[in-house]
Amino acid sequence: MIFFGTASLDRALSCYCSHYAQERNHQGVGNQLIAPAQPVGHRHGRVVRRARLGGMLSFYFRRAA
């Protein structure tokens, strides 16, 4: 990634921290999310992709049916 100034670096770090804490599974805590933003494990609904940092980080979840 190429950053143009401190504002773009701050934005990238903020996006990564949000992804790390809320969307990424953590092996150290039983492959669970640390702070899930919504309930996990729905079996119904359309699968949606949330992309961060221009698609470098992805999070897949199901929309409520």
- The domain spans of the chain are 6-62
Residues 5-47: tens digit of each pLDDT: 899 888 888 888 888 777 776 666 676 666 666 665 667 778 8
Residue 35's closest CA among 21, 50, 18?
Answer: 21
Residue for token pair 């804490």: 21
Q: What is the pLDDT of residue 57?
A: 82
User: Can you give the length of the chain in residues?
Assistant: 65
**Rounded Cα–Cα distance for residues 14 and 20 (Å):** 10
Residue 53, classed as helix, strand or coil, is: helix
CB of 31 within 8 A of CB of 19? no
Q: What is the pLDDT of residue 21?
A: 77
CB of 18 within 8 A of CB of 36? no
